Structure formats: structure tokens, C-alpha cells
């Protein structure tokens, strides 16, 4: 599918709207260069889910939640809009129990808690389809395909207050003990992962590979799939590794609820640590483990049931029709209360204004 912007999503026909992603159920500004350049920083995040719900309501098609993440509770002022969006959805699911609690949906809304759908990554991209991509990565980095790799991810928040030289020494020692080559994978450019990976790499004394310029999601996935072990602070790095049977240790620093949330689905809370010293202690027991099933069949069964609900929701376009209309009404009501009646009437008035050439908008467009 080709990505489209929110404006296109609101105007082009659709059969359904499916809302999914990471920590996206919030209205925080996106203070990143890409959003600032497009003038969307203030509303881009809200556009992903409230904008998507608006699109579903405008097109009168089902709105379905594909297990997104919820980072924070919503404030009192936005609560009516959130509740209206939840009511307008034909199916609501989130990826962990903590997210469901933070969402605080009205009792009338049934919220399913299902594993992060990235757990099925190996079904989407079987490991053998990534072999050539991994070998191309090693060739690009002048690395040896016969070596065993430690997929390592560091994020700025996870190393706050830590000595980078001490962490690098710990990485070097672990890699030497188990004859591993550290492969530093920067998965989140918006979190400044490339900069943090480069900072750690400068202190490493042993041979290592710095992947601060990944060429897309498949290359990052290949790096995880073909490593011997994963240690890192990226939840999706851990999940991707687990999907391919790679032993892993997840560094929950800070201890966001999403980390334990996924491990509750897999029954592997022993993979969760709160600091880097403990991470390498646990990794000592993982380093010699062979690849094996890390995600239990119960998690995949839960996802099968989840996809069935998504499919059934798409097949019932009339369901929640009145609630979708009520969501649009709630949006207009909130806009008028916050900005006055002109906010609602301005689009109509703008249609009557002539362009600079003196031709009314309606005649010009016709």
C-alpha cells in the first residue's frame, strides 16, 4: 500500500479504516524535523487516530483498532472526543494491559488486549527471504558472514546517566567471551538512535558493525533475524528477534508498561531487566542458546482471533453508523466551544471568497 497524507485520507474513498501502530493514541506534538517542515507538528499524532476516525466517519465506513499502544491517560478536556472515537469504532484493541488501563474506555466499550501484531513478522517475511538482504548488509559493512553477531540496540533514554565508556567495555567483554561481533542497530531515527549508536561505537575497542544507516525495515529485520542474540532497549527490536527465534534481553529503562505488556503475552518476563549490568548477566545464560520458539502458540491464537474480528468488522459497514455520526458531531461541538462559531463557519465563508483573479472559487473549480 502506498502511504497517503491525512488530507488525502479524509477525501479519498475507502472501504474501512484500520488504526494500528506503536505509542500513537495521544495528541502530543511531533517535534521532529520532518513534521515541522510540513507544518504538521502540532496535529500529526492526533491525525493518526482521531483523523483516521474522522475519515471513517466521513466515508461512512468501519473504523477498527489494530492493537495500537497507549502511552498516557487522556486529560479531562479531550475525554469526550476520546470516548466518542471509541464508541465510533466497530472493534477496539490495544497491545497490552497497561494500555487498556491508560485508555480508560467507558464500560460500554469492549477493549481487547492482544499481542503486538509484529509478533507475526516471520510469517510476513520468512527468514529465508531475508538472507540476501543480510548478506548485502554484511558486504556493505565489509563484515564476515561466518561470524556470530550480537544485535545491540541503545536508546538515549536507556543510557541516560550511564558512562558510555563503561558500557562499551561491558559490550567488548561480553562479545569476546562468546566470540560475538556487536552489530549496533539504530532502529529509531526520530529517537536519535543513530547518534547514540555512534557514540557507543566510538568507545568500543573490539571489532563491531555500526548500522546507523539502515536501508529500510527489511534490512533492520534481517539484522535481528540473523543474529545469535539480541540485547537492547527497543521493544520492537526484541519482538522482531523473538519472531525469528533469537534469544533476547529487553532493557526496560525507563520501565514503560509496554515492555512487560508484551512479555506477559509470551510468558517470558525473565527476559526483562531494568539496567545494562543486569542485561549482560541475563545474556550470559542466553548467549549459547540455540534459536528456538520464543513466542508461544497461545499468542498466535490470540492474533488469529484478533484478525477474525478485524475481518468481521470490515464486513459489517452499517455497524456503528450512528456512533460515527455522533463522533463528527462531537468534533464540531468541541471546535465551536474552543474557538467560537467562526471556526465552524469559516470553511463555508471561504467558499464564497473570490480568488485574486476575480473568479469565484466555485466557477474556477468548475
The residue from 247, 271, 294 where one domain ends is: 294
Asked if residue 106 and residue 220 are part of one domain, the reply reads no
The pLDDT, as a whole number, for residue 360 is 46
Asked if 265 contacts 274 with a C-beta cutoff of 8 angstroms, the reply is no
Q: What angle do CA 217, 133, 149 make, to 5 degrees?
A: 90
pTM, 2 dp = 0.91
The pLDDT, as a whole number, for residue 27 is 94
Asked if residue 265 and residue 139 are part of one domain, the reply reads yes
Question: Which DSSP helix (H) or strand (E) runs through 365?
Answer: helix 361-365
Closest CA to 201 of 222, 214, 185, 217: 185
**CA–CA gap between residue 217 and residue 215 (Å, rounded):** 7
The pLDDT, as a whole number, for residue 250 is 98
Q: Which residue has the cell 488501563?
A: 101
Sign of the Cα torsion 216, 217, 219, 220 reads positive
Q: Look up residue 291 and give its three cell numbers.
A: 534459536
Show the domain range for 107.
6-115+305-365
**CA–CA gap between residue 351 and residue 334 (Å, rounded):** 23
Asked if residue 338 and residue 286 are part of one domain, the reply reads no
How many of the other CB atoms lie within 10 Å of CB of 273? 21
Q: Is residue 244 part of a domain?
A: yes
Closest CA to 69 of 48, 43, 90: 48
Asked if residue 275 and residue 131 are part of one domain, the reply reads yes
Asked if residue 190 and residue 168 are part of one domain, the reply reads yes
**What is the number of structural domains in the chain?**
2
The pLDDT, as a whole number, for residue 353 is 65
Stretches where the chain sits below pLDDT 70 are: 352-366
Asked if 181 contacts 149 with a C-beta cutoff of 8 angstroms, the reply is yes
Asked if residue 331 and residue 281 are part of one domain, the reply reads no
* pLDDT tens profile 166-203: 999 999 999 999 999 999 999 987 778 999 999 999 99
The pLDDT, as a whole number, for residue 310 is 98
Q: Which residue has the cell 456503528?
A: 320
Asked if residue 133 and residue 181 are part of one domain, the reply reads yes
Q: Is residue 240 part of a domain?
A: yes
The pLDDT, as a whole number, for residue 354 is 61
Asked if 41 contacts 30 with a C-beta cutoff of 8 angstroms, the reply is yes
The pLDDT, as a whole number, for residue 355 is 52
Q: Is residue 222 part of a domain?
A: yes
Sign of the Cα torsion 130, 131, 134, 139 reads negative
Contacts of 156 (CB under 8 A, 6+ apart): 191, 192, 193, 195, 196
Report the chain's terminal Cα–Cα distance, integer Å.
Answer: 31
Closest CA to 113 of 98, 90, 96, 91: 96
Amino acid at each position: 500500500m502506498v502511504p497517503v497524507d491525512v488530507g488525502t485520507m479524509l477525501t479519498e474513498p475507502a472501504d474501512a479504516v484500520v488504526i494500528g501502530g506503536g505509542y500513537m493514541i495521544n495528541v502530543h506534538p511531533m517535534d521532529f524535523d520532518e513534521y515541522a517542515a510540513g507544518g504538521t507538528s502540532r496535529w500529526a499524532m492526533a491525525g493518526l487516530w482521531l483523523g483516521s476516525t474522522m475519515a471513517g466517519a466521513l466515508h461512512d465506513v468501519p473504523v477498527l483498532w489494530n492493537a495500537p499502544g497507549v502511552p498516557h491517560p487522556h486529560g479531562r478536556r479531550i475525554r469526550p472526543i476520546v470516548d466518542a472515537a471509541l464508541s465510533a469504532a466497530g472493534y477496539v484493541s490495544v497491545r497490552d494491559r497497561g494500555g487498556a488501563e491508560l485508555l480508560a474506555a467507558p464500560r460500554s466499550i469492549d477493549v481487547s488486549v492482544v499481542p503486538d501484531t509484529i509478533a507475526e513478522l516471520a510469517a510476513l517475511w520468512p527468514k529465508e527471504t531475508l538472507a540476501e538482504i543480510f548478506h548485502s548488509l554484511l558486504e556493505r559493512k565489509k563484515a564476515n558472514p561466518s561470524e556470530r553477531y550480537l544485535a545491540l540496540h541503545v536508546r538515549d533514554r536507556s543510557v541516560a546517566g550511564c558512562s558510555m565508556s563503561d558500557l562499551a567495555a561491558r559490550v567488548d567483554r561480553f562479545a569476546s567471551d562468546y566470540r560475538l561481533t556487536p552489530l549496533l542497530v539504530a532502529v529509531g531515527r526520530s529517537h536519535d538512535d543513530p547518534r547514540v549508536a555512534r557514540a557507543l561505537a566510538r568507545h568500543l575497542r573490539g571489532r563491531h558493525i555500526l548500522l546507523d544507516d539502515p536501508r529500510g525495515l527489511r534490512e533492520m529485520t534481517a539484522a535481528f533475524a540473523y543474529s545469535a542474540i539480541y540485547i537492547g532497549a527497543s521493544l520492537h527490536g526484541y519482538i522482531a528477534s523473538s519472531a525469528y527465534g533469537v534469544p533476547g534481553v529487553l532493557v526496560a529503562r525507563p520501565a514503560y508498561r509496554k515492555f512487560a505488556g508484551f512479555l506477559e503475552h509470551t510468558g517470558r518476563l525473565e527476559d526483562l531487566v531494568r539496567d545494562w549490568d543486569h542485561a549482560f548477566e541475563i545474556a550470559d545464560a542466553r548467549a549459547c542458546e540455540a534459536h528456538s520458539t520464543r513466542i508461544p502458540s497461545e499468542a498466535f491464537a490470540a492474533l488469529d482471533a484478533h484478525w477474525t474480528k478485524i475481518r468481521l468488522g470490515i464486513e459489517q459497514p452499517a455497524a456503528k453508523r450512528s456512533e460515527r455520526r455522533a463522533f463528527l458531531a462531537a468534533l464540531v461541538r468541541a471546535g465551536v466551544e474552543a474557538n467560537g462559531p467562526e471556526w465552524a463557519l469559516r470553511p463555508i465563508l471561504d467558499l464564497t471568497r473570490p480568488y485574486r483573479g476575480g473568479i469565484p472559487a466555485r466557477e474556477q473549480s468548475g
